[in-house]
């Protein structure tokens, strides 16, 4: 099956009431883990790369790894997504490299750190939408500013400062109308990275009510939850048992993500959980077999550990079993759809 526009996956998820995990990658083993999990659970999947990942792996390597994944798993619908594009040019380059979806994160300025004014966000996002839709490529925008930093991207907001930059539902309605985005990342109190919360988050810090209100105003809007790794204690414990020093931290509970899915969330970004799983598995091999030097001896269990996390998330998000229900839609087909939609 060819790589599909992400919009096709999100539309199917909305029709059938589930969410789709979007898993970040940097190398071959991560892609292999995601695809093995998708096949085992019969799940459609979004594989995404940040600017940092594209720089680390190089676009040509990444593109061919993704094409290999599509070739080896022809029954699995896959979208290839650029995560957190900081300028139209970053998004344009992703599209030229074969990405079938891109995120224009105009919530921050091009430095990827400074919160941007609303007018800037609309202008840059709309520019990407116009370019991408002519080519059948999906566009995700963001309104509001998430806490934390990921791959050098993020304003690093915490506490009350982060809460002051949450998504405004009325402005979200306006933003979607003015830009024509296919999906909207919303800020509800989540943050990038492993150190999200010092205690299990409650309604005081995780504002699921924002999602509910946006869904009420925009019932056909595909919302996205960033910073949504759950940071399982058992993964932290494995790392620390074998020499790590990660302090107590909490992520986004899976049941809160499921509540979001029931209210219009269709894409859920997961990165930290997979990093934790990989790191714990590698540390375990190094601790138990200090003479080991064959990369396959520690990358294979690392890949297996990540696959388990992906399988768990795919089942929890409800995407398991839906791979066979998604029809192939080419980028050209999608471009024609956008014309009929007036986008």
- What are the pLDDT digits (tens) for 98-131? 999 999 999 999 998 888 999 999 999 999 999 9
Three-state secondary structure call for residue 141: strand
Q: Which of 181, 72, 191, 178 is nearest to 128 (CA)?
A: 181
Mean pLDDT, rounded, of the chain: 92
Q: Which of 144, 150, 50 is nearest to 91 (CA)?
A: 50
With 70 as the cut, is the pLDDT of residue 227 above it?
Answer: yes
The span from the CA of 50 to the CA of 45, in Å, is 17
Tokens of 299: 């990358």
CA dihedral 76, 320, 193, 137 (to 10 degrees): 40
Helix axes 208-217, 254-261, angle to 10 degrees: 10
Whole-number percent of the chain with pLDDT over 90: 82
- What are the pLDDT digits (tens) for 5-61? 999 999 999 999 999 999 999 999 999 999 999 999 999 999 999 999 999 999 999
Give the start-end residues of each E strand in the chain.
20-24, 45-49, 78-85, 101-104, 138-143, 183-186, 222-225, 265-270
User: Please, are residues 203 and 158 in contact by the beta-carbon 8 Å criterion?
Assistant: no
H/E run at residue 50 = none
pLDDT band at 193 (very low <50, low <70, confident <90, very high): low
Tokens 């800020």 sit at which residue?
Answer: 187
Tokens of 283: 């540390």
Q: Which of 142, 223, 236, 147 is nearest to 192 (CA)?
A: 147
- According to the model, what pLDDT value does residue 343 have? 72
The span from the CA of 254 to the CA of 276, in Å, is 16
CA 81 to chain centre: 8
Tokens of 311: 């399988």
pLDDT band at 194 (very low <50, low <70, confident <90, very high): low
| CA 271-136-192 angle, 5° bins | 20
- According to the model, what pLDDT value does residue 330 have? 97
With 50 as the cut, is the pLDDT of residue 157 above it?
Answer: no
Residues 6+ apart with CB under 8 A from 314: 21, 37, 38, 41, 43, 45, 320
CA 145 to chain centre: 15
Tokens of 42: 């019969």
Residue ranges of alpha helices (H) inside 17-145 are 28-41, 51-57, 59-72, 88-96, 118-133
Residues with active-site annotation: 83
- According to the model, what pLDDT value does residue 229 have? 87
Mean pLDDT of 158-163: 50
Q: Which of 267, 300, 274 is nearest to 44 (CA)?
A: 267
- According to the model, what pLDDT value does residue 216 have? 97
- What are the pLDDT digits (tens) for 233-274? 999 999 999 999 999 888 899 999 999 999 999 999 999 999
Mean pLDDT of 124-139: 98
Classify domain 6-341 at the CATH class level: alpha beta
- Model-level pTM? 0.92
User: What's the DSSP call for residue 162?
Assistant: H
- According to the model, what pLDDT value does residue 228 have? 85
The span from the CA of 217 to the CA of 212, in Å, is 9
- According to the model, what pLDDT value does residue 145 have? 78
Tokens of 88: 């139209």
For 131, counting Cβ atoms within 10 Å of its Cβ (0-12 exposed, 13-18 middle, 19+ buried), the class is middle
- According to the model, what pLDDT value does residue 26 have? 96
User: Please, are residues 261 and 317 in contact by the beta-carbon 8 Å criterion?
Assistant: yes
Length of the chain: 343
pLDDT band at 147 (very low <50, low <70, confident <90, very high): low
* Domains in the chain: boundaries: 6-341
Residues 6+ apart with CB under 8 A from 161: none
């Amino acid at each position: 099956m060819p790589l599909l526009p992400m919009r096709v996956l999100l539309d199917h998820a909305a029709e059938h009431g589930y969410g789709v995990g979007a898993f970040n990658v940097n190398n071959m083993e991560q892609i292999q883990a995601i695809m093995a999990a998708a096949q085992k659970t019969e799940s459609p999947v979004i594989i995404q790369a940040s600017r940092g990942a594209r720089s680390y792996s190089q676009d040509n390597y990444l593109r061919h790894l993704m094409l290999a994944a599509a070739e080896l798993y022809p029954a699995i619908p896959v979208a290839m997504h650029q995560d957190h594009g900081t300028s139209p040019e970053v998004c344009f380059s992703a599209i030229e490299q074969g990405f079938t979806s891109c995120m224009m994160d105009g919530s921050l300025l091009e430095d990827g750190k400074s919160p941007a004014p609303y007018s800037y966000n609309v202008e840059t996002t709309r520019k990407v939408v116009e370019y991408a839709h002519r080519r059948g490529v999906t566009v995700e925008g963001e309104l509001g500013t998430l806490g934390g930093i990921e791959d050098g991207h993020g304003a690093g907001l915490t506490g009350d400062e982060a809460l002051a930059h949450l998504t405004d539902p009325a402005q979200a309605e306006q933003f979607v109308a003015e830009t024509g985005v296919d999906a909207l990342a919303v800020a509800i109190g989540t943050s990038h990275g492993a150190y999200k919360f010092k205690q299990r988050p409650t309604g005081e810090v995780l504002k699921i009510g924002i999602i509910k209100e946006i869904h009420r105003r925009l019932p056909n809007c595909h919302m996205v939850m960033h910073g949504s790794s759950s940071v399982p204690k058992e993964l932290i414990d494995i790392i620390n048992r074998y020499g790590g020093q990660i302090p107590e931290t909490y992520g986004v509970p899976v049941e809160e993500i499921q509540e979001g899915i029931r209210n219009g969330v269709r894409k859920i970004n997961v990165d930290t959980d997979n990093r934790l799983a990989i790191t714990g598995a590698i540390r375990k091999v190094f601790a138990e077999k200090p003479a080991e030097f064959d990369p396959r001896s520690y990358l294979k269990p690392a890949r297996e550990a990540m696959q388990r996390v992906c399988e768990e998330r795919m089942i929890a998000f409800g995407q398991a079993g839906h791979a066979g229900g998604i029809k192939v839609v080419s980028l050209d087909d999608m471009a024609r759809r956008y014309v009929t939609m007036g986008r």
